[in-house]
Amino acid sequence: MSTSESNRRGVGRARAGANFALVKYWGKADARLNVPAVGSISITLDRLFTETTVELVPEARSDELTLNGVRRDEDVAKISACLDLLRRKAGVDTRARVGSRNNFPTGAGLASSASGFAALVRAGEAALGLELPPRERSIVARQGSGSAARSIFGGFVEMHAGSAADGNDSFAEPLLEGADWPLEVVIAVTAKGEKEIGSRSGMTRSATSSPYYEAWVREQPPDLAAARAAIRARDFAPLAELAEHNCLKMHAAALAARPPLVYWNGATVECLHAVRRLRAGGVPVFFTIDAGPQLKAVCAPGARAAVELALRGVPGVLELLTSALGPGAELC
Ligand code: DP6
């Protein structure tokens, strides 16, 4: 199907890449508007993506969601809330049938909510005949899932926490095109299946019970400034050091929550050591880990083969996924 055929009146179809953060989002300033407590910086991937079709159904009384071919009634409220923001902008009240497919494991700490809500917003807009400015698009996506605001854009992306009461200065924007610094990613999948504690409840638990949460939030601005500078200068070594520090700091806050949030398994830790060994041996690579047991290794151009070889040999690694940096959410 061509883009114009698939995006006819009342139907929108879009693709969005997963992203993961090099400087993490962990914690909320406003749960209702889903405003993050901290800014974040991420990379958008090209090989892991969600494709979503939104079709307006005038006779339907509620929205309907199918994810990877399975009806997900339990997730309809979240997508309806996001579609409502678009319906309000379009002055339309029609319900929609949403079909979404991830080409990678769902809910296992691989950013499926990021690509999912970014694709939903882009496709929903098209179905409703809207064409929002990208910043506004990211504000809508943020209200579905904070990290989704970043998947609206490709390459290196910064999300601003903002401070306005209405959340309108809490948006993402591009920092650097992926083509300007073509890093690659190797993801070591160390467990399959949906994670036990999602990031949303993990954040709440960290904020309410971790003695390190306040320090985590306080230290974020200098981390963001350092990462921004390293990305603009395309300087791998300081970005590597900073991203690992920021990731471990987020996990330190989570580990110290009550009950504790231990997102890692043994293979995650072995992979972390393997990446550190590689870098000590001169291979330009660093790791990051989100709210799940998968390890993401970020490679400077040319380093991917050595990283794949090393991670493939780590016991407990089930599969390796590789990706370059990709574009933002687009119609397809
Ligand atoms: C650990 O965007 O999934 O991946 O806004 O509640 O939907 P909600 O949270 P979500 O959190 C992502 C957390 C993270 C870090 C990151 O992606 O920055």
Q: Which atom of ligand 1 is nearest to the CA of 19?
A: 17
Q: Is 200 in the pocket of ligand 1 (CB under 6 A)?
A: yes
Q: What's this model's pTM, rounded to 2 decimal places?
A: 0.96
In total, the chain counts a number of residues equal to: 332
pLDDT value at residue 8: 67
Contact 114, 101 (CB under 8 A): no
Structure tokens at 93: 């009240």
Give the helix/strand (H/E) hosting 211.
Answer: none
Q: Cβ–Cβ contacts within 10 Å for residue 268, how many? A: 24
Nearest to 244, CA basis, from 207, 213, 206, 275:
275
Q: Is 199 in the pocket of ligand 1 (CB under 6 A)?
A: yes
Task: Render the burial of 133-170: b for 16+ CB within 10 Å, e for the rest.
Answer: ebebbbbbbbbbbbbbbbbbbbbbbbbbbbeeeebeeb
Contact 14, 215 (CB under 8 A): no
Interhelix angle 236-255/199-209, rounded to 10 degrees, is: 70
| Ligand 1 pocket, mutate which of 147, 246, 248, 262 (most atoms under 8 A from CB) | 147
Q: Is 25 in the pocket of ligand 1 (CB under 6 A)?
A: yes
pLDDT value at residue 104: 84
Asked whether residue 80 carries a pLDDT value surpassing 90, the answer given is yes
pLDDT value at residue 111: 66
- Of 101-115, 220-234, 250-264, the one with minimum mean pLDDT is 101-115
Distance of CA 25 from the midpoint of ligand 1 (Å): 6
Q: Which atom of ligand 1 is nearest to the CA of 114?
A: 2
What is the residue with the minimal CA distance to atom 3 of ligand 1? 199
Q: How confident is the model at residue 112 (pLDDT cuts 50, 70, 90)?
A: confident
With a pLDDT cut of 70, the percent of the chain lying above it is 95
Contacts of 192-197 with CB under 8 Å at 24 or more apart are: 192/105, 192/108, 192/318, 193/105, 193/108, 194/106, 194/107, 194/108, 195/107, 195/108, 195/109, 195/263, 195/291, 195/292, 195/293, 197/261, 197/263, 197/291
| Ligand 1 pocket, mutate which of 199, 201, 290, 295 (most atoms under 8 A from CB) | 199
Distance of CA 37 from the midpoint of ligand 1 (Å): 12
Q: Is residue 249 classed as helix, strand or coil in its secondary structure?
A: helix
Q: How confident is the model at residue 250 (pLDDT cuts 50, 70, 90)?
A: very high
Using one digit for the tens of pLDDT, what is the confidence trace for 25-62?
Answer: 999 999 999 999 999 999 999 999 999 999 999 999 99
With a pLDDT cut of 90, the percent of the chain lying above it is 92
Distance of CA 27 from the midpoint of ligand 1 (Å): 9
Asked whether residue 196 carries a pLDDT value surpassing 90, the answer given is no
